[in-house]
Amino acid sequence: MSGAVLTGAPGAPRGEDHTALVDAVRLRLAEAGDEPTPARVAAALRAQGRLLGDTAVLGVVRALRSEMVGAGPLEPLLAQERVTDVLVNGPDQVWIDRGGGLERVPVRFPDAAAVRSLAQRLAMSAGRRLDDAHPYVDTRLPDGTRLHAVLPPVAVGSPCLSLRVVRSRAFTLDDLVAAGTLGAQGAALLGAVLDARLSFLVSGGTGSGKTTLLGTLLGRVAPDERIVLAEDSAELRPAHPHVVRLETRPANQEGAGLVTLRDLVRQALRMRPDRLVVGEVRGPEVTDLLAALNTGHEGGCGTVHANAAADVPARLEALGATAGLDRFSLHSQLAAALAVLVHVVRERGGRRRVAELHVLERTAAGLVVTVPAVVWPADGRIVRGRGWQRLQSLCRRGDVP
């Protein structure tokens, strides 16, 4: 395995000298079948004629262990509290997102082979295959981190890795208010939606904070309610005492064992859910979810990708078509199943915030459109829209401010 260099690692030589030293120690340990403990690394260094201090030896130990466990040289980045994404575009192109947009960081791999080796090891730790016959993978690592990797020739020049951090800590609505994701009145409105057991979707673009917001709202659900989650990749971590988590499974190398999100939704309906949650509605499962919400399962929710709240009906229409549901049937189901739409955005500076809250309305032609009830511009003002009275009516069982 090629060595990876973490520029600036404390207590170790830098640059090419560091790489050569780590390679030499690795080779000696591999020949002896030894683990990279501090004592064995020190002995290997002495055999190379290198006498280094304790801090330098520990630096070499960290470099070696980073290649064998975890995410290798990316591990320190993933461990940073504010990091949400780590992206590798090439051996010398590593980027992170700490909530303020992408930043390039001084982490280097010796070559594209080292990037490929790390990608394959991470995929293997999740029980997935990544090679020339299967040049891409989308999976969840054992610690919950979301991994996507693509190998050449699909990725031009170098393997590319995308790591999405899933924090074990669950946020509260107060945390989101403090972070500027929404205001106090917005938190009260969403609390009223939950108390009234209205079905809702959280919409937004990639990386806009849909999953974070949904997980936070689920933590606000009454503790005596049973939440059943169906997810493509288990990312939701609600702070709730009664959560059942279901996750899809890919087919094995023989093509057997596939479990789809649609399968999970159907199974979840037989598990006596008080709240049925689909982590991300992205395919034919939309029909099963809408059918469930039309048969007495109140308070169901999920997320959906959409650039604007007004685009959600068309987005769901396209997803319904993948299950063979025609346009008017989908809109009929949607009108009866969904009550509220919460739209989140990610601003150019990286801040994620709740921007709009819509209700649904059926037109004379039988199609569903979204109607703004509350809009929060970037300056923090609150603007009530045409759907405000409808929202108040829907939330009559909750406290609408």
30 with 149, same domain: the answer is no
Does residue 238 sit in the same domain as residue 384? yes
Q: Of the candidates 117, 133, 164, which is a domain's last residue?
A: 164
Q: What is the pLDDT of residues 163-212, one digit of tens each?
A: 998 876 778 899 999 888 998 989 999 999 999 999 999 999 988 889 99
Same domain, 183 and 144: no
Number of C-beta neighbours around residue 157 at 10 A: 12
What mean pLDDT is reported for the chain?
84
The confidence score (pLDDT) of residue 294 equals 82
Chosen domain end from 107, 139, 164: 164
For 271-303, the pLDDT digits (tens) are 999 999 998 888 898 988 888 888 778 899 999
**DSSP 3-state assignment of 399?**
coil
Give the pLDDT of residue 62. Answer: 63
> Could you tell me the two tokens for 278?
């689909």
| Within-domain flag for 10 | no
CA distance 218 to 237: 9
- Give mean pLDDT, residues 53-58: 66
Residue 177 placed within a domain: yes
| Coil vs helix vs strand at 233 | coil
User: Residue 336: which H helix or E strand, with range?
Assistant: helix 327-337
* 153 and 262 inside one domain: no
Q: Answer with the one of 111, 131, 164 that is the final residue of a domain.
A: 164
pLDDT score recorded for residue 399: 45
pLDDT in tens, 136-171: 999 888 888 889 999 999 999 999 999 998 876 778
In contact, 193 and 340? CB cutoff 8 Å: yes
109 with 201, same domain: the answer is: no
Same domain, 249 and 341: yes
Q: Max CA-CA distance within the chain?
A: 85
Q: What is the pTM of this model?
A: 0.76
> Are 153 and 207 found together in one domain?
no
| Cα dihedral 78, 80, 85, 86 sign | negative
C-alpha to C-alpha distance for 136 and 346, rounded to whole angstroms: 27
- φ, ψ of residue 319 to 5 degrees: the values are -65, -40
- Shared domain for 104 and 200, answered yes or no, is no
Please tell me whether residues 229 and 375 are part of one structural domain: yes
Residue 304's domain is classified under what CATH number?
3.40.50.300
Between CA 86 and CA 104 the distance in angstroms is 10
Instruction: Compute the distance between CA of residue 92 and CA of residue 339 in angstroms, rounded to an integer.
Output: 48
| pLDDT mean over 87-91 | 96
| Residue 88, pLDDT score | 97
| pLDDT of 7 higher than 50 | no
Q: Do the domain assignments include residue 320?
A: yes
**The CATH number of the domain where 83 resides is what?**
3.30.450.370
The residue with greater pLDDT, 41 or 244, is: 244
Same domain, 227 and 106: no
Same domain? For 360 and 216 the reply is yes
Residue 97 lies in a domain: yes
| pLDDT tens readout for residues 93-136 | 999 998 778 899 999 998 999 899 899 989 988 888 899 999 99
Residue 261 belongs to a domain: yes
In a domain, 333, yes or no: yes
| pLDDT over threshold 90, residue 351 | no
130 and 247 within one domain? no
pLDDT given at position 193: 95
Give the residues across from 77 on adjacent strands.
none
Residues 6+ apart with CB under 8 A from 95: 85, 86, 87, 88, 89, 102, 103, 104, 105
Query: Could you tell me if residue 9 is inside a domain?
Result: no
Domain that holds residue 111: 72-164
- 121: in domain: yes
pLDDT value of residue 6: 38
Tell me how many domains the chain contains. 3
Task: Report the interhelical angle of 15-32 vs 38-47 (nearest 10°).
Answer: 110
What's the pLDDT band for 35 if we cut at 50, 70, 90? low
**8-state DSSP, 259:** B
Question: Which pLDDT score, from 0 to 100, does residue 254 have?
Answer: 77
HSE-CB of 226 using CA atoms within 13 angstroms:
10
Q: Which of 55, 61, 54 is nearest to 21 (CA)?
A: 61
